[in-house]
Amino acid sequence: MTKRVALAFSGGLDTTVCVPLLEEEYGYDEVVGVTVDVGQPEPEFDEAEETAEALDLEHYVVDARDEFADLCFDSVRANAEYQGYPLGTALARPVIAKKILEVAKEQDCDALAHGCTGKGNDQLRFEAVWRASDLEVIAPVREMGLTREWEMEYAAEKELPVEGGNEGAWSIDTNLWSRSVEGDDLEDPSYVPPEDIYDWTTAPTESEGTELVEIEFDEGYPVAVDTVEETSTSSQPSAGNGEEQSAVDIIEQLNEQAGAHGIGRTDMMEDRMLGLKVRENYEHPAATVLLTAHEALEQLVLTKEERDFKQQIDHQWAEKGYQGLVDAPLMTSLDGFLDANQTKVTGTVTVKLDAGQVRPVARESDYAVYSESAASFNTETVDGIEQADATGVAKYHGFQSRLANAVAAGVEKPELAADGSGDGHELPSKDGGEDGEDK
């Protein structure tokens, strides 16, 4: 009986080396390569196709851009960031894993394989999906303890169609939502990265002009982007005209627009799931703009209690998203809360793109929890409430704290009379005289 294994295939060194290893070391007769499109650059697909052809590998390319973009927009509703940066690779991995699993079942494969090392997060994200199936899971690089040097020597010995480090000095992962750069000198936290590690973003100091961009949301989801004003002398991509756009189109448009202004760079020390602390560099222009605009709209339409409580929901959503556990039961419950909470997050936000920064400068919604007349300094009475009505609140505000401080300082504990007056020391007197001044 022919044994077949589906391999997550990129055409890079790790996955190319895995092809003969799966045959020679693991005894599989046929390897099926699967490349999933979540927005990688076109040259990466060309490389995968060329490498697969050179290896005589059965190869499938699956388009999952729409599904991935939808998940990214789910993350916007949850303001999802991990330790300060938008989730990108983390959200892409379960989408990729599901598509590979589908191909494996369609092609009657007995196992699933990936080229992840035993030090990163991706092994966990892939396998969280795959281990729910009845197929064997294989990780040659991890299980055989392979190093990059060994792989390069093995590839040369086998005359495999790879270049030593297909991304040059850096290890780069790109999808619609983010671009990550790591490895080589970047592993040294004291190393200042050169400007050429960035591809999506112009150096903020070199960006020209400013733009005002209006983003429309419907129940927390971005649905349209329109340029309101442009003062840049450089060539900018055309924006939408206010009509609803696909998630993929919105992301691609904002990656170009915001990236041209140097927006969306992160250089950080990241705590991985296995406990390792690593240096990571990210680019995420569209994600930065959309997350900023979404939070600005929430500030307008949600009550303080809703916003305070939602921070817990957002944190848990981001944690599960980072772990690649987007199908966990908890996520279903979190999404249920968001479905109810985000119905009011409908409206528009105008943001200013300028020299590496995105700032909300206007927002509008039918659900705004805001009264201009109540907030204005030019009105005296609103809905029967006058400024003087705050006097009683001001007297009681901080009372318990003042009392506690007085007791702690060894002052005789004042007694509060039935009419609210005290002994004339710590509590305000009823007539508001000198003895009633705050101490």
Domain ranges of the chain: 4-174, 179-302+345-364, 377-436
pLDDT at 1: 85
CATH topology of domain 4-174: Rossmann fold (3.40.50)
As a whole number, the mean pLDDT across the chain is: 90
Quick check: 163 pLDDT over 90?
A: no
Sheet holding 58-63, edge to edge: 58-63, 30-37, 4-8, 111-113, 136-138
pLDDT tens digits, 181-205:
988 899 999 999 999 999 999 999 9
34, pLDDT greater than 50:
yes
Burial code (b: 16+ CB inside 10 Å, e: under 16) for 43-62 equals ebeebbeebbeebebebbeb
Question: By mean pLDDT, which of 26-40, 230-244, 389-403 is the weakest?
Answer: 230-244
pLDDT, tens digit, 9 for 90 and up, residues 365-389: 999 998 877 766 676 777 778 888 8
**Alpha carbon of 231 to those of 132, 238, 261, 285: distances in Å?**
53, 14, 12, 19
386-415 mean pLDDT: 85
Which among 136, 140, 66 is positioned nearest to 101, based on CA atoms? 136
Judged against a pLDDT cut of 80, whether residue 231 lies above it is answered with no
pLDDT surpassing 70 at residue 428: no
Could you list the active site residues? Answer: 14, 93, 122, 171
Annotated binding-site positions for ATP: 8-16, 115
Q: Binding-site residues, please?
A: 8-16, 85, 115, 117, 121-122, 125, 171, 180, 270, 282
Feature table: binding site for L-citrulline: 85, 121, 125, 171, 180, 270, 282
Superfamily of the domain at 179-302+345-364? Argininosuccinate synthetase, chain A, domain 2 (3.90.1260.10)
Stronger pLDDT, 278 or 170, i.e. the higher one: 278
Helix, strand, or coil here: 184?
Answer: helix
Tokens of 308: 């305070």
Q: Is this prediction's pTM over 0.85?
A: yes
Confidence of residue 306 (pLDDT cuts 50, 70, 90): very high
Contact 37, 63 (CB under 8 A): yes
Pairing of strands 277-283, 265-271: antiparallel
Show the tokens assigned to 111.
Answer: 């196992």
CA distances from 69 to 246, 250, 321 (A): 9, 9, 14
Minimum mean pLDDT range among 148-152, 169-173, 326-330: 169-173
What local confidence, expressed as pLDDT, does residue 117 receive? 92
